[in-house]
Structures are given as C-alpha cells and as structure tokens.
Structure 1
Amino acid sequence: MTVNSTSLSHRKYAIVGGGLMGRLLAVALAQRGAQVDLFDKGDANAHGSAARVAAAMLAPLAESVITEDSVVRMGIYGLSRWKELIGQLSTPVFFQQDGTLIVWHRQDASEAQRFTTHLERNCRNNALLQLPQKLNTEAVRDLEPGLAERFTQGLFLPNEGQLDNRQLLDALLLELGILKVHCYWHTQAHPDDLRKDQTYQTVIDCRGTGALDVWASNGANTLRGVRGEVIRLHAPEVKLKRPTRLIHPRYPIYIAPKENDIYVVGATEIESDDLSEMSVRSAMELLSAVYTVHSGFAEARILEMATQCRPTLKNNLPEIKTRKDKDLCDVMMINGLYRHGYMISPAVLDCALELLALGESKTALELGLNISKEASNQEASVCA
C-alpha cells in the first residue's frame, strides 16, 4: 500500500491510545512527515494494553472457522504487509511464517473431521487460501518431532505465521523516539477535549475498550470487552518450531513458541469485561491441556498468568468511523479488532492512512472493512 507522503506531511495529528494501533499509526504518520502527539493513560511498556497480552498469531485459515470472510481477507493481506512494516523498523522483531500445525487426540477425531471440512470449504470459497495438508505420523514427526509419540495424524496450514508482540511494541516505542513523536504517557486525554485544539487536523481514537463512552452513542455497534487469559511458559525441553493448536471439544488451546524457549498458551474467551486475575479453573484447563500436547511442559516454569479484555463491537468485526463537526477538528475512531488484532492491524492501518490522505479507502472496499461516516448530528451512514 502506497500513500503519497506529501498528502500527510506538515499535518498535525493527535492519537489517543498507545497500544498496537496507536503506535502503528503514530509511526506511519511520522514516517510520512506528519507531526504526531500520542497520548495514553498507561505507561510506555503498554502494560494496560490488550496488545501486550496476546499470542500475535497470523493465522487467517485457522481463524476462518470462527470469523467472517472480510477478517480472513484482512489477515491474508496482513501476512505480507507485516514483513514490510517490520523491515522499516530500526530494531529486529521476531517474525515467522512456517505455518500452523493442528493436532488432536484419537477420541476427538470426529471433531477434527468437522474442523477439516470447514477449512476445506473456506478454501474453495477463497482462492487466496491454501488447502490444509493432512498428516500421518511420519509427517507429524517431520514437522514437529516432539509430538509424534502422542499424535498419529494432524493438519498443516501452510504460510501462516506469528510475531513476537512484546518485541514489536518495544520496537515501535523506539521508533516513536527516533521519529520525534511527542508521547504523553500516564496522561488521561479524551478525544473530545483534544478536538477543540485547532492545531490538530485530526484526532484519532485508538483507545480500545477505553472508548466505551464514544461507541455507546451508536446503538448499532456497542463496544464491549471480551476477556482473554494466557499463560507464558519457559519450556526448554519442548522445542516446538511453529504455532500449534489442539482440537478439543472442551479445552481447545493454542501454543505459540517465541524465541528463547518461551511459549504463549491460551484458549479462554469469556464474554466479560472483568480484568481480575486468572481463575483457578482456567489455569488448570490450560496447563492440563498443554501437558497433553507435550510432556516436556511438565517441567516448564510459569513466567506469567495474564488477563486482558479485547475490544469487540456488536458484530465482532472491526470498524473505522469518522466525523466532522463545525468548529472542531476531524475525528477518526478505530475499534473492534477483537481477537484478531495482530492479524488484521496492517490492513486497518493502511485503510486509515488512505482515509486520512484521500478521504476514501479503496483497500477498505476490497477487503470489506467497514468504514462509517458520522455526521455532526450523530446520524451515521455507511460509506465503505
């Protein structure tokens, strides 16, 4: 995606929310010559952001089982775009595109067959998706030698990937400094207050669940938090090479191996905005399930049990909303990335840049990202 830098340079933007989308946008705008002020109520390490508590898997085919085609298309777009975005940063970020391994225990074969049928149907409907490869014991051993004793069959989803979310957040933070973005951490700023400052061309709201008050005014897409729980483990005995998912009717989990024998394990998805500590039941289910995948996890060390709420709109789909008001600067609101934040954020980023530069987004039309334009009288009309 190419946006003419001259159309964004010499403009001044305020971004509220310094999580994944806020940092990506701040860096992209500053790279194009814009002046950017970034505000966040949390710290520079993103401890209050859903982006810090994530596995950062880039798996459009695997996610196609539970999400809409537009999200799948954004995920496919994001896989190639991440390489470009990471390549522009001053520090390296772990990025891997060695596919996803799906395994199941013998008693769950019928569940796996339903899953496989769903994936194959999605591939027929989207030519950009590559059919899953069915694996026998020998093929499982070739991909992940440590799993061959427990799993006699599986699926391999080529081209899917992952990145290290915390390395990325740190690298983006460093880039903000290099690009001289003015960052105001521990600052409770509200877009409506910043819009009164006529020095900004646009105020961009990337607050995630912090924007509940703004999105609640639109009954068609009420924002909510969906709780996720993950465990980070140090497991030198395991040696998985790629993200692995276990099909299970009750305890489906994902295992995302990062560098230095770190593994991010998760599965839980609870319709709640509760940010309290992980429950005993969730911890037991996650740890029991991951042990059934590889016995080496028995000696793993628990580094962290973390919870966070993913910002989710009523339809579970992302949206960009814009508004113009007399005597106030423009506002752009980005939200609803749900559980697919890292997978689809490059697509959302490029659509936002096109909107800021051109007032419209061809990429949004192609990918099916919802863009709504809200008039000053609060009457919204969908334009993309």
Structure 2
Amino acid sequence: MNPPSSSFAILGAGLMGRLLAVELARQGHGVDIYDAAGPAAEQSAATVAAAMLAPLAESAVTEPGVVRMGQHALARWPQLLARLAQPVFFQQQGTLIVWHRQDAAEAQRLTRQLQANQRAIPELPGLQELDSAGLNGVEPALAGRFARGLYLPGEGQLDNRQLLAALLHEMQRLHVRMHWHAPRHPDAFAPGEPGQPDWVLDCRGLGARDPWRALRGVRGEVVRVHAPEVTLQRPTRLVHPRYPIYIAPKEDHLFVIGATEIESDDLSPASVRSTLELLSAAYAVHSGFAEARIVEVATQCRPTLPDNLPAIRQQRPGVLEVNGLYRHGFMIAPAMLDVVMEVLGTGRSALAPRFDLNLQLLERQLREPAAPVL
C-alpha cells in the first residue's frame, strides 16, 4: 500500500467525482478535481434528478445487479450522509404506486413483474397490495382518490442538490484542490511520472465520449414545484401507458415531478407538450397541484452505455474510468464508490460480482495507492 501522500486527479465534479474526492481526501490523499462547469454542478446530470432510491420499483426497467446495488445503497447512504458537516434530507418511507381504473390492466402487469423480481432477489422487501382503506392509511393525502395501490416498503430518497452542496463543502473542508471551468482529458496526465498524479479517475459522464465511443445521452425532463396544499409523504408513481410519472416530495412542500426519457442528447428547454403532460399527471394524482407554483422546468442528459448498465474500466496504467450510471445515479453511486475504493485499495473488488458489474481491469494487478474501504 502506497503512503498517504498518494495523489489523485479526478475528472468531473458530478456525483461520483465528489463522492470519490471526499472519500480519498478523508483517507489523507492529495486530490485535485477538474470540471468543465462551476461549483454548482450546473452541467451534471445529478443536478436534475429526483434522487429516488427505489430498487424494487426500478427492477421493472433494469437488471438484478443494479437492483442489488440499489439495495446496498439504502444501507450505505445513511452512513455517508452522517459523515458530512452539512445536513442532507434523507427519507426511507417506501414508494407508493397508484393508478386510475382505466389503467388497471397495466397495473396488474406491473404487479406481477415486481412480484417475480422480488422472488428472484429475496433480500428485497416484498411489495404490499393495498385496497382503498389500506392506501388511505399509508398515504392520507390520497384518501378517496384511488381504489387500489402498491406499497414498496424500505425504499427511499434524498435531496440531490443539498447533497451536491454538502459534498462541495466537504471538499473545501478537506482541502481538495478544485479547478472549475477547467475540463481535462485523461491524456493530459501521465500517472506515476514525476510531478504527475498517481491515479486519474475519469468520472466525466457524457464528457468522456472520446474514450467511451458507445456512450450516449438519454434526456430527462423534470418540473420542480412548490405545493403547500399537497402533503404527500413519500415518492409516488402513477401507472400510465404513455406517461408514467413520479412525484418525489422534498422538504418544505417542494416536489420533483418527472417521467420523460428521450433517446437524445438535446439539452434545449423542455417542450410545452412534455411539461403539460407532467403537470396534468401530477394534478391527476392530487388536485392540490393546481395551486402549486412552478419553481423550475429543467432538462439534462444521463450518460448511458449500450446495455444501460454502469461500468468501471482501466485501459492504461493509473487511469480508472467510471461511467454509464444512466437513470440510476443516486441509487447506485454508493455501490460504485465502494467498488472503486476496493480496486484502488487491493487491485480487485469482492463486491463487483455481487452487482454483476462490468469491471475491466488490466491483466497485471493494480498498484495500491489507497486504503481499503472501512
């Protein structure tokens, strides 16, 4: 294991870059972080996200390995947040899924799929089917609005922007050297050479399209509203064949509403149609959204590999690339963090096979500049 003076250059100050910078600096390593944007992470996909931690709900659209990463994250996020100096909203009160009568067939299909996924991954808490009375007991704000629903216990969420700000504060506190509006390519470094970092960690997302030839953007659109009349207590999803939305309640009656997923790297403003559909669907869940105030309509593109799964790879000594977090960034980031720290500490990862993670390392064992994750 190398001495504590090991040095790291991290490219990209989004969610993964900030998590790695904080963990490495905490272990006593020298860390420089470079980003094409500023400290507000305005170009990061993590800024435009609902930050839901919903492995069973997401099992309908992803693979078991990602689901297990999400389950891992539900235990890890409280540990990670507890070490930050600034508070971050975190909630673990489950996910609620509701539907209107005309969409009952689609809801039955989804229920069967989630039940099968839960049997395949037994560590997931089982979903609970609710009638009107049970639904009203779980979420009083929806009393009388829906005849049936599903409750997925144990799932959670956090406030993405509070987290990014808290990680920024932690980087400052730990003396991470931050280089804003300073994009860098891995080829700008010669790891291990005199005056160069021992490791380069490339976490640039879509900014890393040069080394990741097949990387693509998947556009998402969200509306943030302030709705004092709405008292939803947990993330709520509406089953719909055309626009199945989610509503994630944050602190102080702030709600993040989203659904759209478009195969495009277009970062232009949201369309009138998609905004109307999001707001109409939210109103269909709770009429109190009629008097909500629109705080923001935002778009961003998530970095996505051809199989929609994350990957970690090393193509040359001293350079580790982390990418492909797609729509699951906050749900899988702690697992990705722990795998990277294992690789840096020991040259291998015991966690990666559990997550079916695409981990590509050089044939020879990696050098060991960082301590293993404790």
**TM-score normalised by length of structure 2:** 0.95
Q: Note the residue ranges of structure 2 that are not aligned, 5 or more in a row.
A: 365-374
Say if 1:333 and 1:8 are closer, same or farther in 2 by CA, change over 3 A.
farther
Deviates more, 1:364-373 or 1:257-266: 364-373
Within a 5 Å distance, the mapping from 1:201-220 to structure 2 comes to 201-216=198-213
Amino acid at match of 1:64: S
Cα deviation for residue 145 of structure 1 reads 1.4
Cα deviation for residue 65 of structure 1 reads 0.5
The answer to whether the 8 A contact 2:191-2:198 is kept is no
The answer to whether the 8 A contact 1:194-1:203 is kept is yes
Deviations 1:63-91 (A, max 9, x none): 00110000001000011000100011111
- Provide the C-alpha distance between the structure 2 equivalents of 1:312 and 1:224, rounded to a whole number of angstroms: 5
Residue 338 of structure 2, aligned match among 335, 340, 350: 350
Residue 102 of structure 2, aligned match among 107, 117, 121: 107
Deviates more, 1:232-241 or 1:7-16: 7-16
The answer to whether the 8 A contact 1:147-1:294 is kept is yes
The answer to whether the 8 A contact 1:44-1:185 is kept is yes
Alignment partner of 1:249 is 2:246: no
| Structure 2 residue aligned with 1:333 | 321
| Structure 2 residue aligned with 1:219 | none
Cα deviation for residue 274 of structure 1 reads 0.3
Deviations 1:130-166 (A, max 9, x none): 1110111111111211212210110000000000000
Deviations 1:323-344 (A, max 9, x none): 335xxxx100000000000000
Within a 5 Å distance, the mapping from 1:112-261 to structure 2 comes to 112-195=107-190, 198=193, 199-216=196-213, 222-261=214-253
| Structure 2 residue aligned with 1:270 | 262
Deviates more, 1:201-210 or 1:130-139: 130-139
Deviates more, 1:359-368 or 1:34-43: 359-368
SS of residue matched to 1:304? strand
Deviations 1:73-115 (A, max 9, x none): 1000011000100011111110000000000001111110000
The answer to whether the 8 A contact 2:57-2:114 is kept is yes
- Provide the C-alpha distance between the structure 2 equivalents of 1:336 and 1:31, rounded to a whole number of angstroms: 26
Deviations 1:256-304 (A, max 9, x none): 0000100000000000000000011100110111100000000000000
| Structure 2 residue aligned with 1:314 | 306
- Provide the C-alpha distance between the structure 2 equivalents of 1:30 and 1:7, rounded to a whole number of angstroms: 15
The answer to whether the 8 A contact 1:11-1:201 is kept is yes
- Provide the C-alpha distance between the structure 2 equivalents of 1:140 and 1:348, rounded to a whole number of angstroms: 35
Alignment partner of 1:89 is 2:84: yes
Within a 5 Å distance, the mapping from 1:7-46 to structure 2 comes to 9-46=4-41
Amino acid at match of 1:139: G
- Provide the C-alpha distance between the structure 1 equivalents of 2:363 and 2:200, rounded to a whole number of angstroms: 16
- Provide the C-alpha distance between the structure 1 equivalents of 2:56 and 2:197, rounded to a whole number of angstroms: 40
- Provide the C-alpha distance between the structure 1 equivalents of 2:235 and 2:190, rounded to a whole number of angstroms: 43
| Structure 1 residue aligned with 2:273 | 281
The answer to whether the 8 A contact 2:59-2:67 is kept is yes
Amino acid at match of 1:176: M
Q: Note the residue ranges of structure 1 that are not aligned, 5 or more in a row.
A: 1-5, 217-221, 377-384
Deviations 1:169-213 (A, max 9, x none): 000000001100000011121111023672211101000000011
The answer to whether the 8 A contact 2:218-2:261 is kept is yes
The answer to whether the 8 A contact 1:8-1:357 is kept is no
Cα deviation for residue 7 of structure 1 reads 5.4
Q: CA RMSD in A?
A: 1.3
- Provide the C-alpha distance between the structure 2 equivalents of 1:255 and 1:338, rounded to a whole number of angstroms: 19
Deviates more, 1:96-105 or 1:316-325: 316-325
SS of residue matched to 2:300? strand
Deviates more, 1:355-364 or 1:135-144: 135-144
Deviates more, 1:298-307 or 1:188-197: 188-197
Amino acid at match of 2:360: S
- Provide the C-alpha distance between the structure 1 equivalents of 2:192 and 2:325, rounded to a whole number of angstroms: 28
Identity of aligned residues (%): 59
Q: Which runs of 4+ in 1 moved over 2 A?
A: 6-9, 194-199, 373-376
The answer to whether the 8 A contact 1:323-1:375 is kept is no
- Provide the C-alpha distance between the structure 2 equivalents of 1:317 and 1:72, rounded to a whole number of angstroms: 11
| Structure 2 residue aligned with 1:53 | 48
The answer to whether the 8 A contact 1:8-1:29 is kept is no
Deviates more, 1:9-18 or 1:142-151: 142-151
- Provide the C-alpha distance between the structure 2 equivalents of 1:56 and 1:201, rounded to a whole number of angstroms: 32
| Structure 2 residue aligned with 1:323 | 315
Alignment partner of 1:373 is 2:373: no
Count of residue correspondences: 362
